[in-house]
Amino acid sequence: MAEITYREALNEALREEMERDPDVFLMGEEVAEYDGAYKVSKGLLDVFGDRRIVDSPISELGFAGLGVGAAMAGLKPVIEFMTFNFSILALDQVINHAAKIRYMSGGQIPCSIVFRGPNGAALQLSAQHSQACETYYVHAPGVKVVTPATPADAKGLLKAAIRDPDPVAFMEAEMLYNVKGEVPDDDDFVIPLGVADVKREGTDVTILTHGKTVHVALQAAQKLDKDGVSVEVVDLRSIRPLDVDTILASVKKTNRAVYLEEGWAFAGVGAQIVSMVQEEAFDWLDAPVVRVMQADVPMPYAKNLEQMAKPSAERVVAACNRVLYR
């Protein structure tokens, strides 16, 4: 095992997949000469040259469309959005073209493409740069959505996403790029999409979550452990495809569940998960499932208001106590 950062793990995944498959290339704003806005592509231009590490104009719709066209021609593009907030400009190419072309062509036209970049809030980036964009992507059949929370998951899942025959929205987190963790040295370390991971085992209540909020859930679990409450934390890792079996197994074990995510509550990912739990595991529940989400407002710029809007470990502890009737 090597201890590396989340950023370095992503870089390793890109480097190894580009060495393995000459059809893989990276394109986006500042990914070449500047090594990427968050330095994920550091050093790749020197190794692979400017035909495979491609700087694009500031036009998300344009370079996403170029990527979709390249994928339809059989190449395997990785399209970097400086942030998924900007990817909203490119949704026509993702939802109307990439997601549908293999289905509409009866499988004759491929579209193996990864859209990746940071998602959600960081620190005081305000309303237009702090959105959790999972819902926009997970709603459309044909697009897979992946949200790694650790360096190992970042590397293993990105390699799987690049090899996948379908479009994958690979949502990272700006606040995780410097987080360190152990990553297997194996250069063929791949984590299958659609397989959740139990990050912490417990018996009293399950916290279901994905992406950056996995770390908030683990903080809450530590706090509750001091009060004698055993918390299980299930990291979905992929929102679509969804590992229903692992979710239901945990809920049937603890009989109580809290869903935690960074996005808004209305029609959010949690609404889908809770609906599924209610339908498939109702007889095992000892309390209604509770959600912890961002406040239903555009993200404020003021630091104190931003902290109030984000889901916190304290709010997760309160939600767990609520389903435990404590």
Q: How far is CA 44 from CA 17, 20, 107, 156, 173, in A?
A: 12, 14, 33, 19, 21
Distances (CA, A) of 7 to 3, 210, 221, 229, 238: 12, 18, 26, 34, 19
Which DSSP string do the residues of 240-274 spell out, in sequence order?
ES--HHHHHHHHHHHS-EEEE-SS-STT-HHHHHH
C-alpha 189: how far from its chain's center?
Answer: 18
Distance from C-alpha of 200 to C-alpha of 68, rounded to nearest angstrom: 38
- Judged by DSSP in three states, 227 sits in coil
Q: Which of 8, 60, 172, 232 is catalytic?
A: 60
CA dist list (Å): 262 to 58, 71, 270, 291, 305:
27, 31, 10, 11, 15
Q: Give the closest residue to 84 by CA, choosing from 135, 159, 155, 27.
A: 135
| Strand, coil or helix: 297 | coil
Q: How far, rounded to the nearest angstrom, does the alpha carbon of residue 312 sit from its chain's CA centroid? A: 19
The question of whether 8 is a catalytic residue gets the answer no
Annotate 153-171 with b (16+ C-beta within 10 A) or e (fewer).
bbbbbbbbbbbbebbbbbb
Cis status, amide bond into 165, omega within 30 of 0: no
CB 240 within 8 A of CB 292: no
Report the Cα 60 to chain-centroid distance in Å. 19
Task: Provide Rg for the chain, Cα atoms.
Answer: 20
Alpha-carbon distance values, 173 to 16, 66, 143 (Å): 21, 25, 19
Question: Catalytic: 201?
Answer: no
Please tell me the distance from the alpha carbon of residue 17 to that of residue 264, in angstroms, as a whole number.
Answer: 34
Q: Which residues are catalytic?
A: 60, 129
